[in-house]
């Protein structure tokens, strides 16, 4: 019989895990940084699209 939550128990539960281990905090922090980089990478193309739409009268 296993003790405590597994990683699978923590994902998709709709709330924070019962136990926030240092590893989990590090994983979540890394994922947040990766998401931030992706968002930043989309800002320039979004601005170009906005400019093209505005120029076309949209």
How confident is the model at residue 3, as a pLDDT?
A: 55
Distances (CA, A) of 57 to 51, 52, 53, 54: 10, 9, 6, 5
How confident is the model at residue 14, as a pLDDT?
A: 74
How confident is the model at residue 55, as a pLDDT?
A: 95
How confident is the model at residue 42, as a pLDDT?
A: 95
Nearest alpha-carbon partner for 17 in 32, 45, 9: 9
How does pLDDT run across 1-57, given as a tens digit for each residue?
A: 455 555 555 556 677 667 789 999 999 999 999 999 999 999 999 999 999 999 999
Kindly report the pTM of this predicted structure: 0.55
Distance from C-alpha of 3 to C-alpha of 21, rounded to nearest angstrom: 15
**Number of helices followed by number of strands (H, E) in the chain:** 2, 0
DSSP 4: S
């Amino acid at each position: 019989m296993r003790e405590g939550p597994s990683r699978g128990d923590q994902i998709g539960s709709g709330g924070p895990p019962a136990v926030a281990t240092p590893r989990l905090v590090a994983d979540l922090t890394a994922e947040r940084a990766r998401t931030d980089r992706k968002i930043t990478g989309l800002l320039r193309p979004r601005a170009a699209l906005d400019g093209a739409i505005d120029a076309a009268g949209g």
